[in-house]
Structures are given as C-alpha cells and as structure tokens.
Amino acid sequence: MAEVLQFFFSGLTVGAVYALVALGFTLIYNASDVINFAQGEFVMLGGMSTVFLASAGIPIPLAALLAVVLTIAVGLALHRFAIEPARGASAVVLIMITIGASIFLRGAAQIVFDKRFHSLPPLFGIEPLRLGGAAVLPQSVVVLAGAALIVVLLWVFIDRTLIGKAVLATAANRLAARLVGIDTRRIVGLSFAVSAAIGAVAGILITPITLTSYDVGTLLALKGFAAAMLGGIGSALGAVIGGLLLGMLEAFSAGYVSSKYKEAVAFVVILAVLLAMPQGLLGRGKVERV
C-alpha cells in the first residue's frame, strides 16, 4: 500500500508539471490554432533564469518574479515576430515555426546560461513528509499547490473577467469575436503571455526536484503535447487530466513494469486511448463542412 502511495505521489508531482505544459498548449491552441512546440522552452527559461539571477545575488523570490516577466517577454516576442507574420499559414508550417523557435531558444540558452545541470533550494527544506507510509518531499506539495492555484486563477480569469470572456469568444469563433469588437490579435498575444507565465512558474516550481538545464524543454514539450492530446485538444480540463494521467502512467509503469520502458508504456496507453476515443478523453468531435 505504501508503495502504491509512493508511486501515486511521484506521478502526481510530475503529472502536475505535464498538466501545466499541456494547459499552455491548450490556451495558445484555443486562441490561434497554433500547436506551440516552444512551450517546453518556457519551462526551461523559467527555471534557468531564476537560477542565474539568484546566483547573481538577487533574492530568490525576486529572481523568480523577474524570470516569469522575462519568459512572458519571450512569449510575446515569439507571437509578435514569428507567429503574427505567418498568419494564415498552414498548421504544419506554424508547427515548424514554433520548432524553429524552440531550437533558437535552446541555442540562446546554452550561450547565455551554460550546458550544466542546475538546481534551486526547495521552499520548505528537504525533510520528507510521511503520508500513509510514503515519503513525500515538501517541494512536491509546493508543486501540487502551485499547479492547483494556477488552474484556479486561470479559471477565475477566464470565467469571471471581461478579457477572459473575450478569450473564450475568440476560441469559440474568431470571426464572430472580431465582429463584436474583440481585438483577436491582442487576445492571441495575451494567450502567448499567459502560457509563457504558466510554463515559467512550472519550471521554477519543479527545478528543486528534477533539476534544470538548457535542454529540458524538448522532452517536456513532447510530453505536454501528448498530455494535451490525451485529454482532447482545446479542453482545459482535458489538459489537466491528461497531464496528471500521463504522470501517473509513467510513475506506475516505472515502478511495476520497468523504468526503461516507462515512456513506452505511457505512449502505448495514449495510442490505445486515442484509438478508442479519437478526440481524446474530453475533446469534442468536429463536424466537417464539405
């Protein structure tokens, strides 16, 4: 039982990060139909810039804040200089642009920062908490609480503010949104900024546990994309569920099958789910006009 709990908590922690990355994918996709493969680089930028700002003598809370601001700036620049000029391009061209952006950001990070692994001190020490026989790092609780807070804040923002409603309207129907006076271009820019912020926070929270380096983004983008698709692209709830599920799958298959094949098991399950539910767990079917 203790073993199951142990895998459960480690899966939940990693899954929370996947969920945040998937949420970033979903926000940008909903506003602009772009699958942003640079989403993982936001996570890397959040963690790495905090580490380097802190090592320059800035207190960690301030460094983290600056790192989030910096990542938002990168997200906005990505939208302004790479996505906006390519408006109207096909889906696969837009994907290639974001992949180009992620190669660029990784290349820039290895120059501005370095190629080593870095860590941050955890918020509440390293003494593990005992929960039903399982050892849980306090930082895991911080990650989960942080992820939950982000999800709630995002929900409040989308559901309770006028700008949030404009985001929803843009996701539902871009032309109609423009006709009622919503500046959809600004909304897409906003979605890039929010996604960047979410990614950066995820990167800062997870760094004390998993460490960070200039190239952690690729794998996270891949997992986040898979999680978003598992949940059903376009569904925020689906992204969160998909992320947590993916984290659990990896943790349990690492524990009970083989740690070498944990990712293989995760992808086999994703394939199986998609075959049974071609729109993902919570995605809606699209009616094609001919």
229 binds other proteins, rule: CB under 8 A: yes
Q: Is 190 left (phi over 0), alpha (psi -120 to 50) or beta?
A: alpha
257 binds other proteins, rule: CB under 8 A: no
Near other proteins by CB under 8 A: residue from 104, 131, 168, 185: 104
Near other proteins by CB under 8 A: residue from 2, 62, 148, 271: 271
Locate 210 and state its tokens.
Answer: 């998993």
Interface with other proteins in residues 110-149 (CB under 8 A): 110-111
Q: Among 51-59, 129-137, 167-175, 258-266, which window interacts with other proteins (CB under 8 A)?
A: 258-266
Closest alpha carbon to 13 in 162, 158, 207, 196: 207
Nearer residue to other proteins within complex by CB, 58 or 222: 222
Nearer residue to other proteins within complex by CB, 130 or 260: 260
Near other proteins by CB under 8 A: residue from 2, 73, 86, 145: 86
Q: Are strands 129-131 and 134-136 parallel, antiparallel or unpaired?
A: antiparallel
The H or E element spanning position 52 is helix 39-55
179 binds other proteins, rule: CB under 8 A: no
Near other proteins by CB under 8 A: residue from 7, 8, 9, 225: 225
Q: CB of 42: closest distance to other proteins in angstroms? A: 15
- In angstroms, the CA 10 to CA 206 distance is 12
99 binds other proteins, rule: CB under 8 A: yes
Residue 218: how many other CB atoms lie within 10 Å: 16
Closest alpha carbon to 15 in 220, 280, 159: 220
Q: How far is CA 242 from the centre of its chain?
A: 12
The H or E element spanning position 137 is none
- In angstroms, the CA 161 to CA 155 distance is 10
Site residues (CB under 8 A) for other proteins? 35, 82, 85-86, 89-93, 95-97, 99-108, 110-111, 218, 222, 225-226, 229, 233, 260-261, 263-264, 267-268, 270-271, 274-275, 278-280, 288, 290
